[in-house]
Amino acid sequence: MTSLASFWTMRQGYLRLLPVLCTVLSLCGAAAQEAGGCARWCPPNSKCLSADTCRCDAGFSSVEELITSPDGSCDDINECAPPLRTYCGKFADCENTEGSYYCTCSPGYALKSGDKIFRNESENTCQDVDECRSGQHQCHSSAVCVNTVGSYRCRCPPGWRPLPGPSGDPRRTACAEVVFPAWTAPPGIHSPALAAFLEEMQNLTRDFQPHTARDTADAIQSVLGSLDELLETPGDLQTLPRSQQHCAATKLLLDLENTLRGLGQTLPEGSLTFLGPAGTELTLELQVPGDRQVTLSQNQTKMQLTWDLAQKPGHPGPAMVGLISIPKMDKLLAEAPLVLESEQEATAETNWGPHLTPVLLSDVITAFLSHRDTQNLSSPVTFTFSHRPVSAGPRRGVLCVSWLGGRGECGHWVTAGCETVDTRDSSTTCSCSHLSSFAVLMAHDGRQEADPALALITQVGLGLSLLCLLLAALTFLLCRAIRNLSTTLHLQLSICLFLAHLLFLTAIHRTEPKVLCAVIAGALHYLYLAAFTWMLLEALHLLLAARHLTVPHSSARSRGFRALVLPAGYGLPAVAVAAAAAARPRLYGTPARCWLNTEKGFVWAFLGPVCTIISINMVCFLLTLWEVKSRLSTLSRDASTLRDTRMLAFKGVAQLFILGCTWLLGVLQVGAAARVLAYLFTIANSLQGVFLFLVYCLLSQQVRDQYRRWFRRTGKSAEEPASHTLSSQAAPEAARPAPGN
């Protein structure tokens, strides 16, 4: 019993200690867990899941979903960054916070409830705020606030112009009265008609006090009417020297642009068109700027540009684009000079040189914007002009030009900054990087206006030369009795000149296609150089012939010269042409004719060898005369020898004139005598083949004898009766030359 009682007592003691034991075990377990490191290495913004696992709180994320290493971290999730995890709705913006986000209405909008923030799209009640009515705008006291969706803008009242606001903010604009240019006459120009017009413009702009848009429209209409009246009846203005007329035109164009810009800024938004009594047309477009295209169309002109060009940063108010066409302005701009862009002058298509004569094809237009910074636009402006039909020509071109003046100059047309995009019979499209006064010109070189007399002389002369050269070539080729080195040289010279003249007469103006024109130019270059090379060989041969009159004949030297004539006659010009073509192949052919271009002195690829050959021919001629003079002083009175020597001297003189001096006339066409020299050059060179046939065939005793034999043989053959009364053996006897010939 004692044992049982003791057991029971112990049991009861254990039961009393059980709660304490559990508490101790729980504390030990927590201590053991903390001793494992979970609470210490879990990163901020995370919770411990076990002794070796943590998880990021809501609004934060880690590389892995569960963090099992002390190197892990929990980073804030940007719910507002793409890809959006939340969408606040229209006219609202998402704002990220540490571990969360909220939504706000965009500037210019507010919640209906008046609250400032909300959590998602379903709570979005953002609507436009009328800043002008609520007084939340920053417009100057001189400006008028105009509410827009999500914002507002400041507008000047009629008769006032906007001034840029602080920091270039167009919504903090101030207004000032419109200031117009001073309509004063250019220095040194005294014209009652111009003075009366300028005084009228001064009075109009000085008294301009618009209260409505109708007042501004009436003022614009008055400007156009006065301008048309002046241009229709310029009076004494048209009697001024051309330079002073150009100065007056520059003044009118600049002041007109500035006046219309000032008047246009007082008009309401929209499109307006004004017509003058003589056809002057003004189109204005005032709109809130943007990225879209704007097109201004008139009867003869169309302009296209983007709205962002019309709005200068910091410039308040609506953007304005203006286009005015002035068809009568051509009276004051007649014979205005044209200055080509340097790169354009270097191309074959526009290489007209100082003789360029421009003619206005289209109306003169002026394009302007609401600001004056229009010299280097960020994107081009396209103009399409309608004009009278263009007659094509070899040295004519249609150019897009702008008027440059106002810096102490009377002004002139320039091509810089404008590109001719497309041209057709009666329309031209231009692309320009600036705004000014524009027009389309037809430019042509006065030198290309062919003289009918020169053209006729060239055609008739070359026709006769071709016939004579053909007869000469057939003579040297078929007449065996006179064949020698001299006739070989004559034959090759005749062939080269014949081919060159034929190609010149039939293909010199075939400028299209350009590749074919370049080939024709190269062929002419080669043929004329070959002709000059054979001229040089003729001169050398004459010199050797003259020397053989006074020194013993060297057969070895003669054979050496004969062996070199063909390679030299055709090889040397081939080398020269190949070198020129390899250096500048694009300079073969011009818009006017298939010949060498004058750019960068390329024409000296022909003139250089020609001048060299002419100089050598001159030296050979002088040496030939010296040799002949020496021979004549030692000769006896033998008639045949004297005749041969004199004929040799005559051939030397004739060859120098035919093969050299005539080409010098082309180089000397300068000054007052240029026209006379042009006629002499054309006559002499077009009849070159006739002169060669005369000297080498008709004045040669051997050739004349051979012609007589041919004519007699032909005549005898023609006299044979149809009944064959003459025997077949009598024909050779009839063709035999008579005694003494």
Q: CA-CA distance, 33 to 37, in Å (whole number)? A: 7
Question: Does 432 share its domain with 531?
Answer: no
Round the average pLDDT of the chain to a whole number and report it: 77
Chain position carrying tokens 């827009």: 148
The pair of three-digit structure tokens given for residue 453, joined into one six-digit string? 């007399």
Q: Is there a domain that residue 663 lies in? A: yes
Stretch (H or E) spanning 50: strand 46-50
pLDDT score for 276: 92
442, 426 Cβ separation under 8 angstroms: no
Going from the C-alpha of 208 to that of each of 196, 257, 324, 368, 372, the distances in angstroms are 19, 17, 21, 21, 22
Mean pLDDT along residues 37-50: 78
Question: Does 402 share its domain with 466?
Answer: no
Could you report the per-residue pLDDT of 551-570, keeping only the tens digit for each? Answer: 444 455 556 667 778 888 88
Higher-confidence position of 568 and 161: 568
Higher-confidence position of 39 and 90: 90
422, 436 Cβ separation under 8 angstroms: no
Q: Is there a domain that residue 551 lies in? A: yes
Chain-centre distance of CA 11, in angstroms? 115
Per-residue pLDDT band at 667 (split at 50, 70, 90): low
Domain that holds residue 309: 192-448
Residue where one domain finishes, among candidates 398, 433, 448: 448
Check which CATH number belongs to the domain holding 156 and give it.
Answer: 2.10.25.10
> Which residues are CB-neighbours of 211 under 8 A, at least 6 positions away?
158, 159
SS3 (DSSP) at 14: helix
Could you report the per-residue pLDDT of 460-469, keeping only the tens digit for each? Answer: 888 888 888 8
Question: Does 485 share its domain with 597?
Answer: yes
Could you report the per-residue pLDDT of 503-549, keeping only the tens digit for each? Answer: 888 888 887 788 888 899 899 899 888 888 888 887 787 777 777 65
Residue 300: count other Cβ atoms within 10 Å of its Cβ. Answer: 16
> Which residues are CB-neighbours of 188 under 8 A, at least 6 positions away?
244, 247
Mean pLDDT along residues 115-143: 85
Q: Is there a domain that residue 78 lies in? A: no
Question: Does 461 share its domain with 403?
Answer: no
Would the pTM of this model clear 0.75, i.e. be above it?
A: no
Mean pLDDT along residues 111-133: 88
pLDDT score for 545: 73
Specify the amino acid at residue 35.
A
What φ, ψ does residue 669 adopt, rounded to 5°? Answer: -80, 75
Question: Does 503 share its domain with 605?
Answer: yes
The pair of three-digit structure tokens given for residue 7, joined into one six-digit string? 């057991």
* 360 bridge partner residues: 441
Stretch (H or E) spanning 339: strand 338-339
Q: CA-CA distance, 394 to 449, in Å (whole number)? A: 10
* Structural domain count of the chain: 3
Residue where one domain finishes, among candidates 417, 432, 448: 448
Question: Does 170 share its domain with 318?
Answer: no
What φ, ψ does residue 130 adopt, rounded to 5°? Answer: -85, 95
Per-residue pLDDT band at 408 (split at 50, 70, 90): low
Q: Is there a domain that residue 726 lies in? A: no
Q: Is there a domain that residue 152 lies in? A: yes
Higher-confidence position of 662 and 562: 562
Question: Does 340 share its domain with 467?
Answer: no
Residue where one domain finishes, among candidates 424, 448, 472: 448
Going from the C-alpha of 104 to that of each of 26, 100, 152, 384, 564, the distances in angstroms are 50, 14, 20, 49, 98
Per-residue pLDDT band at 709 (split at 50, 70, 90): confident
Higher-confidence position of 565 and 281: 281
> Which residues are CB-neighbours of 460 under 8 A, at least 6 positions away?
686
Question: Does 554 share its domain with 413?
Answer: no
Q: Is there a domain that residue 39 lies in? A: no
Q: CA-CA distance, 176 to 178, in Å (whole number)? A: 6
Q: CA-CA distance, 384 to 300, in Å (whole number)? A: 8
Question: Does 381 share its domain with 437?
Answer: yes
pLDDT score for 560: 66
Question: Does 170 share its domain with 227?
Answer: no
Could you report the per-residue pLDDT of 581-636, keeping only the tens digit for each? Answer: 888 888 888 767 788 887 667 888 888 888 888 888 788 777 877 776 666 656 55
According to DSSP, the β-strands at 338-339 and 412-414 are: parallel
Indicate whether 449 pLDDT > 80: no
pLDDT score for 353: 44
Check which CATH number belongs to the domain holding 286 and give it.
Answer: 2.60.220.50
Mean pLDDT along residues 191-209: 87
Indicate whether 411 pLDDT > 50: yes
Question: Does 173 share its domain with 198?
Answer: no
Question: Does 141 share its domain with 255?
Answer: no
pLDDT score for 227: 94
Could you report the per-residue pLDDT of 53-70, keeping only the tens digit for each? Answer: 888 988 888 888 888 888
Could you report the per-residue pLDDT of 726-739, keeping only the tens digit for each? Answer: 343 333 433 333 33
Residue 390: count other Cβ atoms within 10 Å of its Cβ. Answer: 19
SS3 (DSSP) at 429: strand
Indicate whether 719 pLDDT > 80: no
